[in-house]
Structure 1
Amino acid sequence: ASKKAPGSQIHHQHGNKPNLAQYVRGQCWVSLAWVIRREKRPVALPLLTRLVPGISNTGKRVAAKTLIRAVYRLLDGRKVRVLVDSWYMRRIFIESMLARGFDVIG
């Protein structure tokens, strides 16, 4: 809730609950994790996280593409599925993932 926190901005609260404020102060982080199966259970291993300084959705997509570009060589030759929420499902993001040979699930 601090105004001094890096990247602190006012964000719309998407919960739509009557007892919560419509707008809140917070930071926007984009994280990249590797999901593996361990004893038949999926486990997410965080790889990288990046603070998005602005509040635009474009900044989130740029941050996500930057994170993927940073680890792309580790993934080369492997079957990769990129699982993202609806904020990232835009043509430019999907096309950049498909160009790398990744499947995209949104």
Structure 2
Amino acid sequence: MEKINVSKFMGVLLAWLLILKPCVGSAFIAMQGPGCKLPAHVFSICGNCFSIPTDYRAGYFFRYDEGQPVYLYNSDTCEGTPHTVLAEYTQDCTGFGWNNVYIGCP
């Protein structure tokens, strides 16, 4: 029996999340490796505040679904004014400093 290549599997999964756009809404995908390399941590549940692990801040993809922007905070909570709000497909592979992510619900 052939072993599954984990990197290949994660690449296919990431492509599915970003391109095929399943009916799960918006997703913020934080990458661990420099230059948006895997592994990744996916945040996709709206209405909850999630802490972004410090070792997953090397880059990100944001897949926007209508009505579900992402709010990014530098603070330790998702309270107050967010540092950044994304409401369209966005990616940056140079790293970021946000501590928390909150996906709005429609």
Give the TM-score, by structure 2 length.
Answer: 0.29
User: Which structure has greater helix proportion?
Assistant: 1
Give the TM-score, by structure 1 length.
Answer: 0.29
Larger Cα Rg: Structure 1 or Structure 2?
A: 1
